[in-house]
Structure 1
Amino acid sequence: MGSPSPAPPPPPPKWIMLRRVPQVCHDLYADFSVTLAEPPRPTELVVSPHLAPDGVSADCFPLVHAADPSGILLVSATYDRCSMAPPSADKQAGDYTTNYFAWHAAIDYTHRLPPHEDSVKHTGNVGLVVDEYNFMVAELLPAGDGDRASLLCYWSYDREWVKKTLPFPLKCPWSSARTFSHQGKLWWLDLSQGLLCCDPFAKETELLFVPFPDDIDTHTRGRDVGNRRCVNLSNGALWLAEMTYHRRALFVKMWKLGTQGQWTPDYTVKFADIWADRSYKETGIPKKKPALVAINPDDPEVLYFSLEGNLLQVNMCAKRVELCVAFRRPTTDLKIDQGSSQFILTWNLPTSIVSSSGRKQEERSSRDSAFDMIADSFTNACASVLDDMEFNQLAMTAIEYLNQSRKEEVIVP
């Protein structure tokens, strides 16, 4: 009797929780690598040192700015310093150097954006919009005087940055935490104020301000706001979750952003009801205020919290803990909380990405022969060169060839 056939591998996750700060691996030969983890376990992106030669330090680290459902990740590597503070008016253009990379994870191809000198290197300013064949990267640069802003737009087919100057609708400083692509528009999130929205494709681009609901405290700033407040796309809409106290009781409130830019209350849950449920007691975790990490991108009733080295998946309306897993915060010198909602992205994956792809890449990087590594490098280099060829130059060459052929066909009487 033959041995039983092995169990089939688990199905790939439809989405993942991605840490925004990648790890730099000196043994990685490809540009990027990722091993997909089933949520709520976080997934880490790995970056090659030839893209991020300065590694990860308190003043300089690579960062994931956007994770698009098409399978493209927008990643930056900053040389010298990456700012977590709001942009300052006296920032000098040449102080820092930032390179942006659009990684097509499904085909393992990296599009390198040309650098520009206007960036203030703020972690939440840059967004990504993808259409069927191309993508746009847009970086918002609020000016120090508060009256205007610059919008730098890069189309993948043009391969150049275009700068637009826009009226700025706010007088107070703006500090973007992250950017969303939704309904063909870009949305910049300031966790202390609300959202800025614009259509980067419009001829007359305009920045619109969407404030948080009136009962949200918008007068507090600092790192703590990222542990108690979260905005995310879920089920085709933008949602806002807030942990707040009322009469010494901890509550979680949820709002949905409507098509007219108005926040509508959806549910309010008392945390004491979750603590009292058997599912929470079985975790053995004390009844303490957790940190709000993420909103489930498929179901806004499911939230994720971290507390004392654990990550909880909680169905808020059922008041039940659905999953509890260990949650390791990376040990680095970064002056940021990588467990807050500001540094965790939810990424809806395309069907072309399978869960085993990251493991296969990592295994190959450790066992490939020197010849295979050189061959891969040569292939990637050729692909980059071909991608960098300007279409108009190629067209001019073709036209010259056709004209020459036509001249040779002419019969002189």
Structure 2
Amino acid sequence: MSGTSSFTTGESSRAGEQPERDEVVEFKARTWVALSSIIVVHSANDEGRRMLALRASDIFLDLQPPQVGASYLVLPDRIVKHPRYADHPVVLSACSDHFLFRATPAEGPSNLICFFVGDVNARTVVRLPEVPFHMAVNTIPHPQYSIGLIADPRSRHGGHYMVAQLHPTFTTHHTTLLCYSSVTDQWTARPLASTESEEHHRWGAHGVLAHGGLLWWIDLFYGMLVCDPFAADDNLHLRFVPLPVGSIRTGRRVPGPENIGRERFIRPSQGKLRYVEIQGAPSGMRTSNYQPPSNPQVRMFTLVSQEGQHHWVHEYTATFLDIWSHRSYAEAGLPQGVVPWLALIDPNNANTLYFFRGTTLFAVDGQTRQVLFRVRCLVLESARGGHRFQNSRFIGAWELPPALEPDGTYAVSAWFLHNLIC
């Protein structure tokens, strides 16, 4: 499904230890893959169907190291409709050994969108039940990124999870957290004890992250809303964490919000949330009074906690002029003077950023400006998709759960990884 590595200049070094900032974060490097959020669907006549072991499994994972290309979640069309008959099924959240995704069920009209949870260990997929009518609250697949998945630490034997969505969905001031628990197999509508949400476009439009036992609703123009979904009802607070100073955008936006994943993302790395943004790209976001810098650059910030308050700390800024002038860039055969699109950050090394240039995925050390490797990588294996899926909205780092982790290394073949779960 993806290409073969064609350029390697060396291994990236581990990012330096962060200074203590009133918090202690335990971090252990994990094996990870660059997971496409676009799900592959096999029909009964597809050659790839054999990988699903003829109904023996609901899930197949086509896994390979990021230095080789993207990894994919693969489903049979007996569970979800093939994309040629409906919208592409999309992974919304990957939490340890579970996936939350939206798709059109195999049985039903092509305009029906439902939520599903896939269990990697059990190799099963379950469709979330409908919200009871008497609750007068409905899950809304659009906007699709307003719903999140988090592991439930309260379950005695593990393996349980919670799905949560802010309500009302068509507003920016939320009063309710709609929750589904796999422990009870029920939906509950929980009133928020307090909220600090700001007035603007809908929260969670750019993803919902599970991190540090909390859920984070992301808006890449403003910041994040954070909540502990396992708190008691009288302590269910929704708090606002703004973006770094100078990064909050207001007013008219060009291009549209759907393209923001090319220039910004918030993702975990080394146990902390990182905000990465490109400034000064020719196609960058603009407001009515926005003056882009003449020298395009990429910046990385770390979210830290001090005395109960969150704030961003600037870690580094790398100009693209420095990246383009490094000899490793020319050796990689990459085009000069072209600002790439953001892809992801190495979850084990906050110095290593991944970019897309067309169908080329390449990694850069943000401290040394060195290109570490490049590879041909398609987030979606379809000419119909073009390059619009080649950005951080449609690919992310997924740390493999222990059952799939081959001793913390990739010293095994992709075939072995395939057969771990099939």
Asked if the contact 1:123–1:177 (Cα under 8 Å) also holds between the matched residues in 2, the reply is no
- Equivalent of 2:61 in 26, 34, 52: 34
Larger proportion of helix: 1
**8 Å contact kept, 2:220–2:260:** yes
Name the larger-Rg structure. 1
State the structure with bigger RCO (CA 8 A, min sep 6), 1 or 2. Answer: 2
2-structure distance, mates of 1:98, 1:273: 46
Distance 1:59 1:304 in 2: 31
Structure 2 equivalent of residue 138 of structure 1: 164
In structure 2, distance between residues paired with 1:187 and 1:142: 17
Which residue of the partner structure matches residue 255 of structure 1?
A: 301
Measure the CA separation in 1 of the matches of 2:383 and 2:80: 16
Residue 308 of structure 1 is matched in structure 2 by 358
Q: What residue ranges of structure 2 are gaps of 5+ in the alignment?
A: 1-29, 50-54, 132-136, 281-291, 407-413
Is 2:220 the counterpart of 1:191? yes
The one of 385, 397, 408 equivalent to 1:346 is 397
2:123 maps to 108
- 1:143–1:150 CA contact under 8 A, matched in 2: no
* Counterpart position of 2:230: 201
Equivalent pair of 1:125/1:141 in contact (CA under 8 Å): no
Q: Does the 8 Å CA contact 1:79/1:96 hold for their aligned counterparts? A: no
Match of 1:162 in 2: 188
* Residue of 45, 50, 53 corresponding to 2:73: 45
TM-score (norm: length of structure 2): 0.73
Distance 1:125 1:280 in 2: 38
Percent identity at matched positions?
27
Amino acid across the alignment from 2:389:
Q
Residue 126 of structure 1: aligned partner: 147
What residue is the counterpart of 1:241 in the other structure?
276
Opposite residue 210 of structure 2, the aligned amino acid is: S
Structure 1 runs (4+) deviating above 4 angstroms are 94-97, 332-336
Greater displacement, 330-339 / 162-171: 330-339
Could you say what the CA RMSD is over the residues aligned between the two structures, in angstroms? Answer: 2.7
AA partner of residue 247 (structure 2): I
User: How far did residue 115 of structure 1 move?
Assistant: 2.6
Number of aligned positions between the proteins? 336
Q: Deviations over 1:11-58 (max 9, x none)?
A: xx81011111101111333322111111141111111112212x2259
- 1:97-125 deviations in Å (ceiling 9; x for gaps): 44333222134233442133711102211
Contact 2:171 2:202 (8 Å CA) reproduced: no
Using the TM superposition, name which of 170-179 and 327-336 deviates more: 327-336
User: Equivalent residue for 2:347?
Assistant: 297
Unaligned runs of 5+ in 1: 1-12, 81-93, 365-413
Residues 133, 36 of structure 1: alpha-carbon distance in 2 compared, 3 angstrom cutoff: closer
Q: Quick one: structure 1 residues 96 and 126, their matched pair in 2 at CA, closer, same or farther if it must change by over 3 Å?
A: farther
**1:274-324 deviation digits (Å, cap 9, x = unpaired):** 111111111111121000110111111100001132110111101100111
- Separation in 2, partners of 1:57, 1:238: 37
Say which SS state the counterpart of residue 128 (structure 1) adopts: strand
Alignment of 1:60-75 (within 5 A): 60-69=87-96, 71-75=97-101
TM-score normalized by structure 1?
0.75
Give matches, 1:384-403, under 5 Å. none
C-alpha spacing 1:237/1:358, structure 2 compared with 1 (3 Å): same
1:210 maps to 2:241 = yes
Distance 2:348 2:324 in 1: 24
Letter of the 1:270 counterpart: T
Task: Summarize the alignment of residues 352-367 of structure 1 with structure 2, pairs less than 5 Å apart.
Answer: 352-353=403-404, 354=406, 355-356=414-415, 359-360=418-419
